[in-house]
Structure 1
Amino acid sequence: MSDEYVDPSGNTEQFRAFAHSEPAAPVEVASRLPLIAGAAAVAVLLVAVAAWLALG
């Protein structure tokens, strides 16, 4: 069976094209906002529970 994948390091021309290609676009910060907000809410909840247990 022939392999469909071509390794860019196997050919100088392909490797140069691979090395000079544009990097992938970074993930936008807005898409991480719900994750950050959820982590902050969990952290506040844990601090509140710890304070309640310490004072109770």
Structure 2
Amino acid sequence: MAENYTDPSGNTAQFRAFVDAPEPAATATAPSRLPLIAGLAVAAVVVVGLVAWLALG
């Protein structure tokens, strides 16, 4: 280890900058689930309709 190594946790200004820095994941927004829910609902209606058509046909 080098003799002039400085521990960043020992520097109050660097530590505060680290704590105050925003997290990249926290600023990102999650994609909408509406298309997934709508697709599943349409698929469920198609399956129920197909089963009813086969049962009554």
Short-chain TM bin: 0.3 to 0.5
Higher RCO (CA 8 Å, separation ≥ 6 residues): 1
